[in-house]
Amino acid sequence: MMMDGSAAGTSNGGSGADGDAARRNNTRMPKYSKFTQQELPACKPILTPKWVVSVFFLVGVVFVPVGVVSLLAAQDVVEIIDRYDHACVPPNMTDNKLAYIKNDTISKECTRILTVTKEMKQPIYVYYQLDNFYQNHRRYVKSRNDAQLRDYKKSNTTTSCDPERFTADGKPIVPCGLIAWSLFNDTYSFTRGKENLTVNKKDISWKSDREHKFAKNVYPSNFQNGALIGGKKLNSSIPLSEQEDLIVWMRTAALPTFRKLYGRIYVDLKANDTITVRLSNNYNTYSFGGKKKLVLSTATWLGGKNDFLGFAYLIVGGLCIFLAFAFTLLYLIKPRLVAFELRSITVK
């Protein structure tokens, strides 16, 4: 009977091992792949002195000419910059500029004389520049509703537009928010002798903004109707997509000193030409110590006047060439014994 039990135990153990083997055989093995087995060919570059010197020298040879060309292009740009916020204040109001700008009975008209120092080829870009104006302030940037601007069905939506959401009688403001409310409202007109220089304000905004961010069937409503007027008023019969001054202003600046395009003049200006500017000094920058400047500028293939890009390329390129020569001298004075080092590593 004991032999029978042992035999039975052996028989059961044998059947269990066979079952495990069968299950292992039935289990699908993963398909062999060089990717899963990490057998793909790899390239690990070794930074030898010759490679390092060559890379630094190549970067320097490329960057220095680019920097020189950028600086030359920037030098071809002609700019006329005129700060007028302090010059347009009446002499008897210079000690109380805030009272001057808030008093509607005092004329804000002002005349400035500009002299062209160098020939300016058309188109001549007209900018207004504001200093110490923080359009990047968090509460200011958030005070708008993009859905209201681009969708007629949501034109009454004023969420996130505090504090300029509704009028005193509860009507929604379109466009709402502090950005639109503080729209720049100084105006400029130019003459050269008896010739009027027309400022073309068409296509001064980004095409993508006009077509996708501001709807053609959304019109200003209840805008600047409160007791406190922030800036320019909008024509309620013109859709937002055609209010290009507003579109330009609504693209907020990242820095406290910025320029925004006012228009273009398609007339060539000669050296020593005298330009008479008649402007309306309406925008209040006196309450926060800001500055207002009128800028006339030409442009090149690189854009407006900007020396930073050229100097950046020159500095980086010069630094790379210096490092290339420094590493070359170091390698000649104290070369690396690569073969000896590899042999030592192999022996160890």
Q: Phi/psi class of residue 193: alpha, beta or left (left: φ > 0; alpha: ψ in -120 to 50)?
A: left
Per the structure, the complete domain to which residue 285 belongs is given by 78-298
Q: Tell me, what's the pLDDT at 216?
A: 92
**CA pair distance 110, 88, nearest whole angstrom:** 6
Domain co-membership, 54 together with 97: no
Q: What is the pLDDT of residues 145-204, one digit of tens each?
A: 999 999 888 888 889 998 989 988 889 999 999 999 999 999 999 999 889 999 999 999
Q: Tell me, what's the pLDDT at 257?
A: 95
Q: What is the pLDDT of residues 9-49, one digit of tens each?
A: 444 444 555 656 555 555 566 677 887 778 888 877 777 88
Domain co-membership, 141 together with 60: no
**The total number of structural domains that make up the chain:** 2
Global pTM reads 0.78
Q: Are strands 258-265 and 124-131 parallel, antiparallel or unpaired?
A: antiparallel
Domain co-membership, 67 together with 115: no
Domain co-membership, 126 together with 174: yes
- Structure confidence at residue 241 as a pLDDT band (50, 70, 90): very high
The encoded tokens of residue 92 equal 């008897």
Domain co-membership, 279 together with 147: yes
**CA pair distance 36, 126, nearest whole angstrom:** 62
Domain co-membership, 219 together with 84: yes
Q: Tell me, what's the pLDDT at 200?
A: 95
Domain co-membership, 133 together with 207: yes
173 CB contacts (<8 Å, ≥6 apart)?
Answer: 158, 161, 164, 165, 166, 167, 221, 222, 223, 225
- Across the chain, what does the average pLDDT equal? 87
Domain co-membership, 67 together with 83: no
Count of H-run helices and E-run strands, the chain: 10, 8
Q: What is the pLDDT of residues 167-182, one digit of tens each?
A: 888 899 999 999 999 9
Q: Tell me, what's the pLDDT at 7?
A: 44
Residue 277: inside a domain, yes or no? yes
Q: Which residue has the tokens 């409310």?
A: 181
Q: Is the pLDDT of residue 348 over 70?
A: no
Domain co-membership, 104 together with 48: no
